[in-house]
Structures are given as C-alpha cells and as structure tokens.
Chains A and B, each alone.
Chain A
Amino acid sequence: MPGLPMLPETAPFPAEQITALNRIMSATNAEQRTWLSGFLSGYQAANAPQPAAAAAPARRAPLTILFATESGNAESLADVARKAASKLGFAARVLDMADATPAQVAAAQNLLVIASTWGEGDPPQRAIDFHAALMAEDAPRFDGVRYAVLALGDRAYAKFCETGRLFDERFAALGGTRVADRIECDLDYDVAANAWLGGTLTQLQAGLGEPDAGAAVIHVDFARAPLEASAYNRTRPFEAEITERIKLSGSRSTSETWHVEVSLAGSGIVYEPGDSLGFLPSNDPALVDAVLMATGLSGDAALRAALSERFDITTLTRKQVADYARLIGDASLAEDVAFADGRQVIDLLSAAPHGLSAEQLTSLLRPLPPRYYSVASSLKTVPDEAHLLVAAVRYETHGRARSGVASVDLADRRNAGERLKVFVKPNLHFRLPTDPQRPIIMIGPGTGVAPFRAFMQERDAVGARGKSWLVFGHRHYTHDFLYQLEWQDLLKRGVLSRLDVAFSRDQPEKRYVQHALWDARRDLHAWVQDGAVIYVCGDANAMAKDVHATLQRIVGDQALDALRREGRYLRDVY
C-alpha cells in the first residue's frame, strides 16, 4: 500500500509478523488507525511495569477537564474522563467552558479539553465567550500547562473538528505543552474517544512521575458507551412501543409534522422536560436496494440488514469521496472531493459505478448515528410515555428525491404497535428554572415547540405559578398551528400566560417569530426585568440567529450576554 509508512524491517518483530502487521495496517482507514493508537496506548498503560509501592503519591495530581458542548456529547465525555481520571489517581474537576475564563484555565497544571464543533466550524454557542477570550491578543500564557485536546465533529461538514483544532493550536501558541496528539472524532465517537482518553490520561499521568499505584490499571469499557445515566443508551436502546402516531399538519399544509407517542412502560427510563429522546432509525429500504444494486451486492441478505440498521447510507463526506476514488482507482474523482457537497452516498456510487465487496462497501460507510428529538411531554402528566414532534424532511437535490432518515422512517414506515429503539439524552442546559415562580419566555417555532409542550405539562402538573409566554410560528395559521387546542386550554386555565404567533405565509409579507418578539418588545423587556428565563428551540441556521439578533436589539448585546452567563438565555437549536 503506497503512501502509508510501513513497519521497518528493524521493528522488534519476527519478519512474518512485520509482514502480517503491514498487511493489516494497509487495509485500515484513518479512523481505524486512530482507534488502534488509542487502544495501544491504553493497553500499554494498563500493562506497564508497576512502579514501586514506595513511590505512592503524597497527593492526587490535579486535572482540569474543560468541555465545550452544544448537544451534550462533549459534556458526557467529560464525565467519562473524570471517572477514568479519578481511577488513575487524579483529582479531576470538570469545567464547562460556559462558566470558565482562559485565565482560570491557564492556572491548571494538567488540562484535558473536549470540544465539539457546531455547524460550519463554529464553537458551541455556550463556548463563544471563552473562545473569543482565548483567541484575543491579551489571552493569558499557558506556559507549563500540560494539555491534550479531544475534538468532536461531523465529517459531513467541511470544517470538521475545527473548534478542537483551533483550541489545540492556540494552547500550543500560548506556551502550553501538548502531551498527546489531538484526536478528531466523527459522530460515532464512542470507542475511539474512550480509547484515546485512556491513552492520554496515562500519558498525562506518566509525565507526573508519581503515578497512583492503586489506580494504575485503567478500565476502559469499550463495549459500552457510558453517556447516559439510564440503563438504556445508544448502544443498548429500549424497544419502546409506538402507542400513538398523528400527523398534526393539516391535510392542506405544505409541511408535514408528526406527533408520536411511545410507551416507556417497564423500562424505568426517566427524563426531564428539555431532554431529548434518541432514536435509532432504519434506512429507507428503497435506498438500501439502490446502494446494493449500484455496488452489485443485491443478493447479500446479511449486508442488506446491516445497511438498513447499522450504516449511514445517506450523508456523503469528502473523505468518503476520496476513499471511494482510491478504492476504485478513479483519479479524476479523487480530485473532485467537492462532489460530496449537497450529494449523498448513492450519488457517488451512481456517478462512478463499480462492483464492491461487502467489506469494501461497509469500510467506506460511517455507522448510522441515532437521531435526537426534544421530548414534547412531561412524565408528570403522561407517566411512562414520551411524546415526540417530528417534521418529515423531504427535498430534492441533484435530481433525486431525498428524505430525512429518521423523520421519514417515523412518518412513512412506523405504525402504532411497532417498536422504536430509544434512549434518553439529558440536556442539562435546557431545563425549567428550579424556581417555579420564575417567569419563562419560550420561543419555539415549528418543531421547536416540542420542549415547551413538555415545560407546560410539567408546570401544569406541579402547579408552578410563574408566568409563561410562548412565541410560536410556522407557515400557515390554519394548517400548521401545532397543538393549537392544547395551547387554548393552557391559556384558559392560566398555565400559559401569553401566546404570540407568527405565520410566515399567511400574508404577502413574511412574518417570523422574531417579528412577533419585536412587536412585543416592551413587554419582553419587562418580563426580563422580572427575572424571566428566555428559551429558544428550533432551527439553528436562520431562526436562532434572527431571534438572537432581535433579542440583542430588544435587551441589548451586553445584557443578553449577561443573561446567557446567568443561565437565563438558553438555546436548544439544531
């Protein structure tokens, strides 16, 4: 395999092992190699000769684990890292970038950074301040800080893991000492991230010269993604029965939104309003057939099942274009990785059809990630149930009809009585105020209204007295007013204090939630003065930005920043 370094003949292995290792290495992809390096680090650390017992440390070494999270994954990993670090004898503390300043962090001795990248290469919203301060000219020096960065991202975006990369480079530029190479993880980060954490913590510890004998054996559980508190998680989901499935959008709506109720009975699963439910979808059988057909693998039943359930056969990354081009020896395709933009796997396979083996095909594909939906219910109102609000995603690009994997799976292929593979993903940063008297302003157009239905059910159930204000929007009042009768009832009973709406296509001039906010700016200002928490849920690309800009105009840039720092401006956008 040209291009990749081979084990030299001088490597400390018998010749036939060198040949075997080279053969194995040449068949690996970058992710597999990353994983392997992490694994070997952990393995090495776990089996290293134990230092003398006399060298037991007088004190536990401090470790700061700093995370920047948008969806909660980085935060979960930070918790995993903290547990592993404690076992190794670190006095680990976890710090949210939202609550941290560079000056604080620069004082750390050992620093583990876990940073996700959001959208087109942006830092998570809650980490914007920290990011800006770190990049600023007057950022503090990091001399003496021993650090390593774990970057989370999505290869479907061109600036994959951009935030982690920038942090890594910046820490180095500010004098920090990188103790392990940065790892860049895709959506299926669990195993690689765990392996890297094991190895990196060991390296951090090794440099201290005073490892904790009692915690020298690292246990990194590769089989289990330790993200969720519940017994069920993304690798071991609960099979929840669909008990209700209603298309909420009117028959003349131009959109398609579904209300899906699943039973959690017997699972012991609990969630809080604001949390998300993860769902493991199946791929569109027609698309599975098309992929099998394009690769000449139509007869392979086992592969068919794997493509249905386990592999992402839609999202196309530039890396996949390059990998495929290399696999089929297509030089021109190799130079055209931008082919990936706006296209999907089937476009690649159809553009340059080539017979593949099952292994070649699956090695090309990423694992099928779970999809997350904000839960639209409260267990206090509907015990043992979780309600989801799902907008069916359908569009056309490059002459092909496309459909959202999970949303259309729910919309077209799942009926009441069938089971969904689900698990809870907590969202600690999108919770009702602990004080039931505190006013809340909920801005949630489209399916963004889901968590607010949960909030209202919760506040109704506990008899919370705080004022509540919902700002909802969609296309047409008549056909898209999701949960209209429920809002009417909540208003009548005073659980919901105020409702404002913006329907974009009911009149010649487009009207969105930010326009409703602007119209109500005086009252909004007063609510904020009264201590209201502002929640925004829904579309990240346009809505959240426009709402943000409008809120800035209404309450002022600095005041809005202050609200965010106080936890009174919370967003769950996607």
Chain B
Amino acid sequence: MDRSLPPSPNEAIKANSRYLRGTIADGLTRVETGALSDDDQQLTKFHGIYLQDDRDLRAERGRKKMEKAFSFMARLRVPGGVLTPAQWLAAETIARERGNGTLRLTTRQTIQFHGIIKSNLRLAISGLNDAMLDTIAACGDVNRNVIATANPWESRGHAEVAALAQAIGTHLLPKSRAWHEIWIDGEQHTGGEEEDEPIYGRTYMPRKFKIAVALPPHNDVDVFAHDLGFIAIREGDRVAGYNVVVGGGMGMTHGEPDTFPRTGDVIGFCRPDQVVDIAEKVVTIQRDSGNRSDRKHARLKYTIERIGLPAFCMELERRLGYSLSPAQDFAFTDNGDRLGWAHGDDGALHYTLFVENGRVRDLPDRQLLSGLHAIAELGVGRFIITANQNLVIADITPQQKRAVGELLRAHGIDAPVSGLRRNSIACVALPTCGLALAESERYLPSLVARLEDQLEQLGLAQDDITIRMTGCPNGCARPYLAEIALVGRAPGLYHLYLGGAFNGTRLNKLYRKDVDGDAIIAALSPLLREYAGQRRDGERFGDYAIRAGHVRPTTAGNTFHDDLAPELRS
C-alpha cells in the first residue's frame, strides 16, 4: 500500500477503541438522543449493529423539533445460516418486542433486525444471547458471517461445509470481550487490562472481509463474490478438499472507474484440514497489505489487483509454509435456490421456501411470520437461511412432512411464483439503509410484476432468469453477477446491467444508464421477446444477451467498465 497517504479516520477510531469498546456503553445511557457518537457508530458495526434512521421521516423531523428517527439494525452471526426452531422463535420474539416486527433474511445467510430503538438495543442483544445467538463481527472491519451452500439435496456434504463455515467463523472471531461487556453483562471484564487480538491486532482489518463455501453443482453462495471462497470438491459422498478462490467482491462507487466488482480467482486446491489455516493466512495478508488510507480501495480484490495474483499466491504460500495443489475441475449450474420439497440422501425432507427479498412478515394473503412461527412451534428440523434470502425448513421426517405442508398452505406461503420472481434479490435500501440512493426492496416486486405480464405472453413465465436490484453500487444483493441488474443512482433512476452468468461465474455489463421504471421495461421488453424467439436450447438470458451482441462479456473485474456502447462511455 501507499504508505505516504494518511490512514483513514477509521484507523484511529479502531486503534483508540480499547478493542472495540469506545464510549458505546456510556452512549447507551444518554436518553436525550436515539443515536450514538460518530466514533461509536463505527465501532458498533464490529458488534453487528448499525445506526440507521428512517429516511421516509427525515423531511419532517427538524420542523417537529425532533432529531432524525434513529433506530438500530442488528445483524446475527449465523455461520452457514443454520438455526434451531427455538432460535427462530427467539429471533421472531426479539423482532416483535424490540424491533419493527419483521425479520429480514439477508444474502449473507443471516437475519437482520430493523427498527430497534436505543432503549431496546441491549435487551434485544441479550435476548438473542439467551437463545445462544450473537451479533459479534456481523459487520465491521473483520471477517463477517461465513456462508455456506444451503443444499438440501446433499445432506452429508452440506453438513460438512456447514461445519467448515462454523470452524472458520469461530477461528476468525475477534477475541475482544467488548461485545459481552457492553451488551450482556454491562460491566468491565478486563478492568482496562490489555487484551490481545492475535489475528487482527488493534486496528483489525482495513475493511470488511467475507468468506463463502460452495458445494457444486450449486453456487447459491456466489462463491466468486467474496474476498475468500472455498469450492468443495467431492469424492463420492465425502468432500475431498476445496478449491481456493481469492479476491472477489461486489462494491464499487459510481463515477469512480478505479472501483469495480470483481470475481474471485481460483488459485489452487487444499485438503479440508488446511482450510482454516488458509483462511487465517489470507486474512493476515490482507490485514498487512490492504489499503488503510482509502476505504474505497481497501478490499482484498484491490490488494490483489495492486500486487498481482502471482505475488499474492507467493506470499500466501510463504505464510502457509506449503503450496496449494492445482485446482480441480468443478462445474456450477446456477446460483439460485430450488424451491419446494426435496429428499436428502438420508431420507430426510427439506422444504425451500421462497421469501421475497428475505422480508419475513405477515401480509393479508401471505402470512410468512405466523406460518413460520407455527412451523417452528412444531419443534422439528432446522431453519436454514439461504444466501438468496430464502429459507430451508430442513431435516423433516416423512411423518412430519404433512404437518409442515399443511401449515405452509394454511398460511398461504407455498404459492408458486414466476421464474423471474423466484430468482429476484433486492437489498434493503430505503427507508433504513443510509447508503441507499434509490428504492430496492420496496420497488423490485412491483417492477417484476410489470415484467411478469410480458413473460407470461412470451411463454417465459416459468423460466429462471436472475434479476437483482440494489439501492446503491455497494452490491449487497450481488447485482453484478445477475443476468439482469438494476443499481440505484438517484430516486427512481437505475443503471441497467445485462449479461451476468446464470451460475454466478461472469460479471454483467452496463446496458442503460439512469433509467426509470418505464425505461427499464422499454429496454427489457424487446430483449425478452428476442430471447423467447431466438434462444438456443437451454440458453440462459444472460448468455443470450452477449451472443446477440447487446453487451460485451465481462471477463475480469478490471474490465467491468470497459467495452461499453459509445453512448455509455463517460
């Protein structure tokens, strides 16, 4: 990194935080404001907690002599996304009593609670703790929740990758006791005595760090979208080892072409027992080499772009003390979920439930919250959050299937949806996300509905096409890997991207700039019509868009902004 530039302000905040304590505990006692100090807002992220405000209400607040309508978002750490029914019920109770009454399943296999006001925050977190759940390192400049394929068809393999995700997450968990001190016990554990973060050090990572574990043939975790990925390679029903993927990442900044999404590079193969060690060493390389001056360039993908992949691999092998084996062959079919009932290897049953945009709440005709409550009350199986914001009700016996099925039906939550809708993902965006430039979760369903009319006429209603929307370019819905992507620019306006691969192996490309809903429909309608008429057998929409010349393929992150149509070049 360029050491001539001053470190970003966050570096001093971290360094002076006494291992993530700051003045959070004091700030929680200040009843006159629903917020925390600016520095503490940075530190709570390491505890899985974001200060947000209801942006719908911003305009009225000052005139009403009230500060912004602050509340907190708390994000669970759930390696592999696996919850017990009791944990699901506990989460639901926290949402109802302390939050806004909804649960938000995320693209990183966890649950977000929104709308927790300050007076409820400690009670919410300690309530989660009572259910053996925590929010440690769910955000912040640390390794985040480790995600893993939620694949009900492959129980044994799934169990292995889920266990691996758990092991990685545990190994990379910050050692600071600050979370317990602030949120659970309310007292100093250390009395100021020096703690140690053997992996992270006092200033933790330069930026967030994300790890995913994928189990082919499904790439539901979008393994190329994370700083570090592991692709399971099977021999028979056992996982023989993992291909290692480094340098993926979604976020970029509008108007700054030196920021870009990047698909990770496969650099070799390792044994299962080497994975945790490799994860640690990749983390420490990024800890030492990542850019700590400019947070827009502080992800591992920019480190690798800067020093080059060969140099990175050499450094990794130097730290490991051994070399990776050559990468093994693998193939991904898709990056989505397969909805409905499925049989596992061992005869257990799994139901993958479509949860539109991950928002669990009761609507008049679709009572997700109540339905899942009733199913959880049965006390059977597991609740597995998928990286596509859906939910697997896993490990159900044939005897229990009927009861679960009846509850799904009774609450109207097993109704079939179109191929486009079941492959749609939207980030939270407005009103709570501070970064959002445009609507996302509240808008995508209606946009999909407009396209569904057309798809129905074209006979494409049940064709799987991925569509992802985000309210800003930071990429929480992994938009740059979708066949159709809409990235917010300003209220009502989006950049439209096309040509991502259906299996998550290729980034998409800008197709239209600053288009509103009507222009989006006008742009997509002729393409879908063409696709319906001219696609080859089994050809995916993203592939067709490239073959037909509507966009050039993006072969590497650093060419994401290249090869644009003339009118799009800025």
Contacts and interface: CB of A to CB of B under 8 A. Distances in A.
A479 B117 CA distance: 11
B98 A484 contact: no
Interface stretch (A2-10, A14-22, A129-137, A246-254): A246-254
Contacts of A95: none
Given A500-B31, A507-B97, A484 B117 contact: no
B117 A506 contact: yes
A484 B69 contact: no
B68 to A, nearest CB: 10
A478 B119 CA distance: 11
A484 B67 CA distance: 7
B322 to A, nearest CB: 54
B33 A488 contact: yes
B123 A507 contact: yes
Interface string B34-57: 100000000000000000001001
B65 interface: yes
A250 B31 contact: no
Interface size of B as a range: 20 to 34
A247 B65 CA distance: 10
Interface string B240-279: 0000000000000000000000000000000000000000
Given A499-B32, A500-B31, A248 B65 contact: yes
A526 to B, nearest CB: 18
A249 B64 contact: yes
B289 interface: no
Interface residues of A, number: 27
A507 B118 CA distance: 11
Counting chain B CB atoms within 10 Å of each CB, which of A249, A251, A481 scores highest? A481
Nearest to B93: A508
A246 B66 CA distance: 12
Nearest to B70: A478
Given A250-B57, A251-B57, A477-B34, A485 B120 contact: no
Given A488-B32, A488-B33, A503 B65 contact: no
Interface string B58-98: 00111111110111000000000000000000000000011
A485 B67 contact: yes
A481 B119 CA distance: 13
B97 A508 contact: yes
Given A478-B34, A500-B31, A488 B97 contact: no
A455 B71 CA distance: 31
Counting chain B CB atoms within 10 Å of each CB, which of A486, A499, A503, A506 scores highest? A506
Contacts of B97: 507-508
Contacts of B34: 477-478
Contacts of B60: 250-251
B65 A506 contact: no
A252 B65 CA distance: 15
A13 B34 CA distance: 79
A250 B61 CA distance: 8
Given A250-B60, A488-B32, A491-B32, A507 B65 contact: no
Interface string A239-272: 0000000111111100000010000000000000
Nearest to B115: A478
B64 A246 contact: yes
Contacts of B98: 507
A485 B32 CA distance: 8
B64 A487 contact: no
Contacts of B70: 478
Nearest to A253: B64
A499 B66 CA distance: 15
A501 interface: yes
A484 B65 contact: yes
Nearest to B53: A478
Contacts of A249: 64
The DSSP consensus for interface residues of chain B is: loop
Contacts of A482: 65
Given A478-B69, A508-B97, A246 B33 contact: no
Contacts of A478: 34, 54, 69-71, 117
A110 to B, nearest CB: 53
Counting chain A CB atoms within 10 Å of each CB, which of B64, B70, B71 scores highest? B64
A380 B272 CA distance: 76
Nearest to B66: A484
A506 B120 CA distance: 8
A222 interface: no
Contacts of A483: 65
Interface string A555-567: 0000000000000
Given A250-B57, A507-B98, A485 B31 contact: no
A321 B499 CA distance: 80
A252 B63 CA distance: 15
B65 A485 contact: yes
A108 to B, nearest CB: 51
Counting chain B CB atoms within 10 Å of each CB, which of A247, A484, A486 scores highest? A484
A337 to B, nearest CB: 45
Contacts of B54: 478
Given A501-B31, A507-B97, A477 B117 contact: yes
A488 B123 CA distance: 24
Interface in A419-477: 477
Nearest to A477: B117
A425 to B, nearest CB: 26
A478 B34 CA distance: 8
A249 B66 CA distance: 9
A247 B57 CA distance: 14
A248 B32 contact: no
Contacts of B117: 477-478, 506
A249 to B, nearest CB: 7
A507 B63 contact: no
A486 B65 CA distance: 7
A503 B118 CA distance: 12
A544 to B, nearest CB: 22
B50 to A, nearest CB: 16
Contacts of A506: 117, 119-120
B64 A252 contact: no
A487 B32 contact: yes
B103 to A, nearest CB: 17
Nearest to A470: B32
Contacts of A487: 32
Contacts of B61: 250
B69 A507 contact: no
A238 B385 CA distance: 67
Nearest to B60: A251
Contacts of B71: 478
B29 to A, nearest CB: 11
Contacts of A484: 32, 65-67
A261 to B, nearest CB: 12
Contacts of A259: 65
Contacts of A477: 34, 117-119
A250 B119 contact: no
A487 B71 CA distance: 19
Nearest to B69: A478
A470 to B, nearest CB: 10
B32 A246 contact: no
Nearest to A496: B32
Sorted nearest first, the 3 A-B pairs with minimum C-beta distance are A484-B66, A501-B31, A508-B97
14 contacts: A250-B66, A477-B117, A477-B119, A478-B34, A481-B66, A485-B62, A488-B33, A491-B32, A503-B119, A506-B117, A507-B97, A507-B98, A507-B119, A507-B123
Given A251-B60, A478-B70, A506-B117, 18 more contacts: A248-B66, A250-B60, A252-B57, A477-B34, A478-B71, A478-B117, A479-B69, A482-B65, A484-B65, A484-B67, A485-B62, A485-B65, A487-B32, A488-B67, A500-B31, A503-B119, A506-B119, A508-B97
